[in-house]
Amino acid sequence: MSRTEHLGSTGVAIVGAGLVGLGWAIVFARAGLKVRVFDRSKELVATLPAKLEQSLSDLESFGLIEAPQEIGSRVSYCDTLEEAVDGIRYVQESVLERVDVKRALYEQLDGMLGQNTIVGSSSSGIPSSDFTEGLSISPRCLVAHPVNPPYLVPVVELVPASWTLPEVVDQVDDLMHAVGQHPVRVARELRGFVLNRLQGVLLREAWALFEEGYCSTADLDATISKGLGLRWSFIGPFETIDLNAPGGVRDYANRLGGLYLDIVRERGEPQPWSEELIARVDAERRDALPLDGLQDRTEWRDRRLMAVAAHKRDMEASE
């Protein structure tokens, strides 16, 4: 039996079923696994079947899945944490991004999980060692950080704590591949991991350029959505610069390395986003999109992502 069959063979449990947890349920159910979902908010759980049905119906309309009812029927909702994790080999923890909330949950899980059960945390930036230290399950805990929504954006960062067993990372890597995600292995812990550190650098410069009056928020957004972002949906920063000089990355580094060094040096000391600055950005964003339009715009974003996912699937199949 392969490592993957073993890890997914008993199904998976999702603990915390907000934005990200429900997205994970779709990832695993779409791949044919049984999924048990637990969230401590009963009001939220009552809304999940309708949300799941809507997402699956959208995915079907973009040709990204078949048989949405069958996929939906693999997802079940549990009244207790014990019921959700009983006999399960893989738990995807997706509760709030707070050390105290995560730690309390891991202490509960410590008394409940079987000896071989692995827990992946969806944590966006908190290393798992901040909330898994000193438990009997510690060697089988790691971060498995998705991007929202995980069923449309496949990358997932695997970040072990110093005490995570190497074979645990291998097993989660295999599972993620098997369910169609794209694992990226981070060698050791750092705050924000890789994805949000990259995003953090971009955001820092965007806020600073706005504050200094170089550009509106709309033009900064367009620089990505109608500029850099178009390439980034299929190649990353290293491949981008490799293709942007006749002699490849070395040539690019010779031509433009000095410019990028000046840019980094000019920035100097980091500053927090001030209240006054946040208010100015907020005013521009609320002019462009009133708060009560956020939900519709999120659904629009997901439909655009579905079209990109369908395009990428077709391109990759033909290459």
Q: Rule CB under 6 A: say whether 44 interacts with ligand NAD.
A: yes
CB of residue 150 vs ligand NAD: minimum separation in angstroms?
8
Candidate segments 14-22, 112-120, 224-232, 267-275, binder of ligand NAD by CB under 6 A:
14-22
To ligand NAD, the closest distance from the beta carbon of 57 in angstroms equals 21
46 binds ligand NAD (CB under 6 A): no
Stretch of residues binding ligand NAD (CB under 6 A), selected from 38-46, 136-144, 208-216, 237-245: 38-46
**Contacting ligand NAD (CB under 6 A), which of 2, 9, 41, 271?**
41
Choose the stretch contacting ligand NAD; rule: CB under 6 A; options: 145-153, 183-191, 209-217, 242-250.
145-153
**Which residue, 109 or 241, has its beta carbon nearer to ligand NAD?**
109
Among 37, 71, 105, 113, binds ligand NAD (CB under 6 A): 105
Contacts of residue 38, defined as CB under 8 A and 6 or more positions apart, other chains included, come to 13, 14, 15, 16, 17, 77, 78, 80, 81, 83, 84, 85
- Near ligand NAD by CB under 6 A: residue from 92, 123, 164, 171: 123
- By the criterion CB under 6 A, which residues form the site for ligand NAD? 15-21, 38-41, 44, 94-97, 101, 105, 122-124, 145-146, 148
